[in-house]
Structure 1
Amino acid sequence: HFIDGQYIPSFNQKTFANVNPATEEVIGTISEGGELEIDLAVKAAKRALKGEWKHFTNEQRSNLLRKIGDGILARKEELAALEAMDTGK
């Protein structure tokens, strides 16, 4: 789980296999989230909205979101392949 700028392991330490439904191959292991992780994420989001993000101008927000979009586009082939494995298509 990526919460408040850092990776946090699952508190309950439970995981589940991410299986490609087309091949039944395990393509990864995912930490199971629960109530504690949700609470942390909600609190982090509220802090972000009240903190630095609140003071960003529309232009600054737009620039940041464009950077994120550019990062996604730069890795679109890799992301498409991962999504295809995840959904079996």
Structure 2
Amino acid sequence: MTTTDITDFKAAIEPRKYVRLEYLTDLNEFIKADAMVVGINAQNGLETLVLTDGQQIPLDRVVSIDGRLSPLYPGYANYSCDC
């Protein structure tokens, strides 16, 4: 993974867009949710994805947004399903 890869992934995150979000919780639970994105917040060196419901998800735990796979999880799409 390069810095360009993660920069491109972050640039694809559109504020005020309703998206299908896949992420891992602190307990490594795989969560799928439909949510509206407010934007990305950077605080104390940690970037979080902010949702309209107030939830903040660490960007390094986001697996995919609207089908766009994060460069931090390159092979993850092979193991997920729409069950």
Question: What interval of TM-score do these two structures reach, taking the shorter chain for normalisation?
Answer: under 0.3
Give the number of the structure whose residues are more often helix, by fraction: 1
Per the normalisation by structure 2, the TM-score is 0.21
Per the normalisation by structure 1, the TM-score is 0.20
Larger-gyration structure (1/2): 1
Greater RCO, CA 8 A, separation 6+: 1
